[in-house]
Amino acid sequence: MALTFYEAAFTVLGQQVSATARTRATLTITLVAGLASTIFVPLTTALLGLTGLSETLLGLAALLWAVGLLAWWGLPSVGGITPNVSRPVFTPDPTFARLTLAFTLARIVTVGVGLQLAPLLLAAGYAPGLAAGLTGLLGLAALPGRVLFVPLLARLRALPLTLVLFVGLGTGALLHFPASLILMVGGTFVFGLASGALTLARAELLARQYPDTFGTANGQMARPVNLAQGNSVPKHRVP
């Protein structure tokens, strides 16, 4: 999975596509990936009901294998990368360390809010329908956030836009504290917009800051970011 999903795709785009074309290609991937759960959550549920856990996992693995082969066979080899040519060695600098820390903390916040929003609302006495609706809005708002990133990037530089997204993420989380329903809805929407666009911002920042070593920089940043995501998922003991 690590060789075929987001990080690898972003690395390929960072090395093979440049400027506006790269941003739009990254947007396309994130939009498709954002809609993937709409397909695969019910598909996996249906497969589990029809077969079992082992058969479902084997079926999904076979699908991933087939799509990987299709991409390897069908996608053209384009871009400015020459095979077997030595590339600069990536050396992390203070800017990279600060960016890694910022995106790691942001991932902890986005995953934590996404997982805990519904339980917290239910514990506070809100109706299950409202809790489900706000949780759904959180994911739905990520799509327009990604779409808006491209025109905003044309007006702002990548770093200032990323800072605006971090502020939006924090503001959206804070707006959930008051008891006002309007503020919670607004906070959920702002939070979703910012969290969706941050995926694009991370790839864009790295591609511009480290154009010759984007793949290595992206891989090194992905390690703590994805570890933070994994450690943010609540652990439940099976009785």
pLDDT averages per 10-residue partition of the chain, 239 residues:
72 73 79 74 84 91 88 68 66 92 93 86 84 84 87 87 94 82 90 90 87 85 84 52
Q: 223 with 116, same domain?
A: yes
The tally of CA atoms less than 13 A away on the side-chain side of residue 106 is 29
pLDDT at residue 83, as a whole number: 55
pLDDT at residue 146, as a whole number: 86
Q: Which of 140, 120, 106 is nearest to 229 (CA)?
A: 106
Look at residues 74, 105, 134 and tell me which one is the last residue of a structural domain: 74
Report yes or no: 203 and 3 within 8 Å, Cβ to Cβ: no
Domain of residue 62, residue span? 6-74
CA distance 114 to 195: 10
Q: Which of 225, 239, 226 is nearest to 104 (CA)?
A: 225
Q: 146 with 215, same domain?
A: yes
Is 85 part of a structural domain of the chain?
A: no
pLDDT at residue 56, as a whole number: 92
Q: Which of 215, 196, 200, 209 is nearest to 7 (CA)?
A: 215
Is 64 part of a structural domain of the chain?
A: yes
pLDDT at residue 199, as a whole number: 85
Q: With left for phi above 0 and alpha for psi between -120 and 50, is residue 210 left, alpha or beta?
A: beta
CA distance 181 to 175: 10
Q: 14 with 112, same domain?
A: no
Q: 108 with 145, same domain?
A: yes
Q: 111 with 218, same domain?
A: yes
Q: 115 with 155, same domain?
A: yes
Report yes or no: 172 and 191 within 8 Å, Cβ to Cβ: yes
Report yes or no: 10 and 26 within 8 Å, Cβ to Cβ: yes
Is 111 part of a structural domain of the chain?
A: yes
Q: Which residues contact 192 (CB under 8 A, 6 or more apart)?
A: 137, 138, 139, 140, 141, 142, 145, 172
Look at residues 23, 41, 74 and tell me which one is the last residue of a structural domain: 74
Q: 223 with 145, same domain?
A: yes
Q: 49 with 123, same domain?
A: no
Report DSSP letters for 115-148, one per residue: HHHHHHHHHTT--HHHHHHHHHHHHHTHHHHHHH
pTM of the entire predicted model: 0.77
Q: Which residues contact 40 (CB under 8 A, 6 or more apart)?
A: 60
Report yes or no: 174 and 217 within 8 Å, Cβ to Cβ: no
pLDDT at residue 54, as a whole number: 92
Domain count, the chain: 2
pLDDT at residue 237, as a whole number: 45
Look at residues 40, 74, 108 and tell me which one is the last residue of a structural domain: 74
Q: 131 with 215, same domain?
A: yes
